[in-house]
């Protein structure tokens, strides 16, 4: 952790988020750019019939994939001198070609490309890799914790609240299973959204390449190159990639963040109601003045992370759709903050999972709440009364459980049909169904 870091991502939370630097740091961006440049040079040389020379360049993909910090700093020094980040990367590439005795290939580095051809692919690869290698596995770990909690409490009586007021009995497992299922569904959607990328030249027409090598179908070349990287080709670019697909990815992560932020708020409320208890390591202090305090710190931290991440990602997703004419640089600075939004999402997921390990469900308190709110049987009572054609059934059910039972007896109906266990059994069945569906979804991710 750096005490001088400007943001807590690289300071206070560095230990939990250090992995993000492998995808979104300046070094990572330089590395991705150089790998893209190396892959493009090889593909370009093959396309123009220089296959022998193309084979000699294959080594650079591995060289750049293992880019050292010292080499990245060398690129940054070139950027200071040249005033352009992508040109600095190409200059570094040309130097490496010289060192390998391949100076004759220097003129073909970045041939016919614009900087955004490299950048859009680099970002797409970084985002895809982070989501599949880091974010989704962490979310699935959290989903499984929720599933286990729902499984353990599928039949635990739990007083449902609507508008904050006692409503009807349910089960705690059913309540938690909802969150597990919703998160799994959105995660499956995220997994299936493939980033788009493009090669288009200065304004998207591939005109310079077409004029220089008119015998080659550059549109087909561009599509083949992009798909070879595991990305989807977008043919409708200007100088920049249209961001609709990127926006879809950002919005989906934002939806997951918002769902989980609400989970954190609900767990906070359940703690305030005394239905769950928050544990803490013996050596930790949760208040500087109240020794007894055991606060939902991790849930609160995660809630803040999720809300901030969702707002950042949603803003990015809409703002990136705007670009003046064929190019402006207003999107460039926004994309440099992808890592901030994703890191906050990751921190929220990690802290929520950790928080779930530190709660105790007060089953007795949950059962007592159901028992002490017999008025929540009014819903089933009025339906039973209506079933038996009792007039003014809704009004009769509103009078209270004692009057309801008398009304039932008066009409020859067994008053024992007013039984909260019926609700809890239905909730248990739903919980078990959602648990099964959630696990099936998780297997496909």
| Contact (CB, 8 A) for 172 and 366 | yes
User: Which residue do the tokens 């077409």 mark?
Assistant: 210
Q: What is the pLDDT of residue 293?
A: 67
The C-alpha angle with vertex 283 and arms to 281 and 286, in degrees rounded to 5, equals: 75
Secondary structure of residue 384 in the 3-state scheme: helix
| Contact (CB, 8 A) for 26 and 20 | no
Write out 273-323 in H/E/C secondary structure.
CCCEEECCCCCCCCCCCCCCCCCCHHHHHHHHHHHHHHHHHHHHHHHCCCC
**Residue 317: active-site member:** no
CA pair distance 91, 98, nearest whole angstrom: 11
CA pair distance 375, 299, nearest whole angstrom: 32
Secondary structure of residue 169 in the 3-state scheme: strand
User: Which residue do the tokens 């980040």 mark?
Assistant: 85
Which helix or strand (DSSP H or E) is residue 414 part of?
Answer: none
Domains along the sequence of the chain with CATH: 14-111 (1.10.275.10), 127-196+240-372+414-445 (1.20.200.10)
381 φ, ψ (degrees, to nearest 5) = -60, -45
- 129: which 2 tokens? 């890799």
Secondary structure of residue 413 in the 3-state scheme: coil
What b-and-e string marks burial along 90-104, b requiring 16 or more CB atoms within 10 Å of the CB? bbbbbebbeeeebee
139 φ, ψ (degrees, to nearest 5) = -65, -40
Catalytic residue among 2, 163, 288, 402: 163
328 φ, ψ (degrees, to nearest 5) = -145, 165
**Residue 110: active-site member:** no
Of 197, 203, 200, 209, the closest CA to residue 245 belongs to 197
Residues listed for the chain: 445
200 φ, ψ (degrees, to nearest 5) = -145, -10
The secondary structure of 197-210 as a DSSP string is E---TTTSS-HHHH
**Within a 10 A sphere around the Cβ of 1, how many other Cβ atoms?**
12
The secondary structure of 1-61 as a DSSP string is --TT-SSTTTTTTHHHHGGGHHHHSHHHHHHHHHHHHHHHHHHHHHHTT-HHHHHHTTHHH
In tens digits, what is the pLDDT along the chain, a chain of 445 residues?
678 888 888 888 889 999 999 999 999 999 999 999 999 999 999 999 999 999 999 999 999 999 999 999 999 999 999 999 999 999 999 999 999 999 999 999 999 999 999 999 999 999 999 999 999 999 999 999 999 999 999 999 999 999 999 999 999 999 999 999 999 999 999 999 999 999 999 899 999 999 999 999 999 999 999 999 999 999 999 888 999 999 999 999 999 999 999 999 999 999 999 999 988 787 887 766 777 767 788 999 999 999 999 999 999 999 998 888 888 878 888 999 899 999 999 999 999 999 999 999 999 999 999 999 988 988 888 888 888 888 888 887 787 767 777 777 877 788 777 888 999 999 999 999 999 999 999 999 9
Catalytic residue among 68, 104, 220, 287: 287
CA pair distance 320, 119, nearest whole angstrom: 14
């Amino acid at each position: 952790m750096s005490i001088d870091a400007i943001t807590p991502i690289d300071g206070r939370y560095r230990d939990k988020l250090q992995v993000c630097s492998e995808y979104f740091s300046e070094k990572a961006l330089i590395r991705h750019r150089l790998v893209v440049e190396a892959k493009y040079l090889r593909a370009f040389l093959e396309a123009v019939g220089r296959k022998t020379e193309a084979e000699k360049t294959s080594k650079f993909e591995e060289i750049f994939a293992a880019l050292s910090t010292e080499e990245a700093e060398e690129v940054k020094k070139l950027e200071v001198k040249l005033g352009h980040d992508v040109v600095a990367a190409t200059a570094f590439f040309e130097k490496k070609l010289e060192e390998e005795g391949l100076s004759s290939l220097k003129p073909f580095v970045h041939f016919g490309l614009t900087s955004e051809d490299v950048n859009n692919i680099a970002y797409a690869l970084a985002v895809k890799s982070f989501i599949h290698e880091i974010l989704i596995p962490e979310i699935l770990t959290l989903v499984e914790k929720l599933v286990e909690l729902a499984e353990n409490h599928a039949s635990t009586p739990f007083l449902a609240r609507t508008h904050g007021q006692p409503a009807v009995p349910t089960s705690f497992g059913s309540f938690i299973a909802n969150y597990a299922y919703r998160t799994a569904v959105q995660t499956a959607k995220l997994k299936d959204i493939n980033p788009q990328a493009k090669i288009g030249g200065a304004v998207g027409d591939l005109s310079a390449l077409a004029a220089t090598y008119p015998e080659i179908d550059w549109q087909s070349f561009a599509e083949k190159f992009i798909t070879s990287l595991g990305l989807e080709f977008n043919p409708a670019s200007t100088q920049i990639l249209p961001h609709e697909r990127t926006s879809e990815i950002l919005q989906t992560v934002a939806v997951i963040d918002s769902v989980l932020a609400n989970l954190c708020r609900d767990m906070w409320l359940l703690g305030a109601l005394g239905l769950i208890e928050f544990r803490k390591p013996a050596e930790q202090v949760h208040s500087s003045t109240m020794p007894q305090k055991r606060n939902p710190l991790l849930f609160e931290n995660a809630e803040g992370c999720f809300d901030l991440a969702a707002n950042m990602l949603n803003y990015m997703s809409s703002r990136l759709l705007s670009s003046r004419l064929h190019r402006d640089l207003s999107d460039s600075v926004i994309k440099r903050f992808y890592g901030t939004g994703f890191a906050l999402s990751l921190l929220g997921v990690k802290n929520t999972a950790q928080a779930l390990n530190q709660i105790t469900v007060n089953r007795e308190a949950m059962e007592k709440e159901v028992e002490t709110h017999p008025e929540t049987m009014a819903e089933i009572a009025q339906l039973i009364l209506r079933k038996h054609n009792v007039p003014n059934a809704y009004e009769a059910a509103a009078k209270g459980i004692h009057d309801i039972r008398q009304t039932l007896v008066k009409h020859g109906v067994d008053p024992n049909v007013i039984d909260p266990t019926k609700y809890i059994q239905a909730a248990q069945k739903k919980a078990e169904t959602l648990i099964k569906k959630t696990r099936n979804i998780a297997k496909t991710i």
